[in-house]
Amino acid sequence: MAMKENSKRVLEYLKRVHGQNVTAADVAEALHIEKKSVEGSFTSAIQRKGLGVRVPAEIELEDGSHKQVKFLTLTDAGLNFDPDASEE
């Protein structure tokens, strides 16, 4: 099954920023799509296929408080995945 356009965009963006800590909100802002769309694309098209994982972390906010977040990152399989070559 072909990967949807938003899923491809999320995948390609995560490849470009690999090694940086990015949340779904960061990806949504960078790609100008809704966070909900990023979450859905990541879960169904990337995470379920073993191409990426959510990494739980805690960040410190400007006011000194802490917040639980999940960073989106690609696995080696995700980094090497070509959505255009895998038309099943």
What tens-digit pLDDT sequence spans the chain (88 residues)?
Answer: 578 999 999 999 999 999 999 999 999 999 999 999 999 999 999 999 999 999 999 999 999 999 999 999 999 999 999 988 855 4
Q: What pLDDT is attached to residue 12? A: 97
From residue 88, give the alpha-carbon distance in Å to each of 12, 50, 71.
19, 17, 29
Termini Cα distance of the chain: 5
Joined together, the tokens standing for residue 55 give 């990494």
Predicted pLDDT at 84: 85
The tokens for 14 are 């995560």
CATH number for the segment(s) 5-80: 1.10.10.10
Regarding pTM above 0.85, the answer is yes
Residue 58 CA to chain centroid, in angstroms?
Answer: 17
Q: How far apart are alpha carbons 83 and 64 in whole angstroms?
A: 41
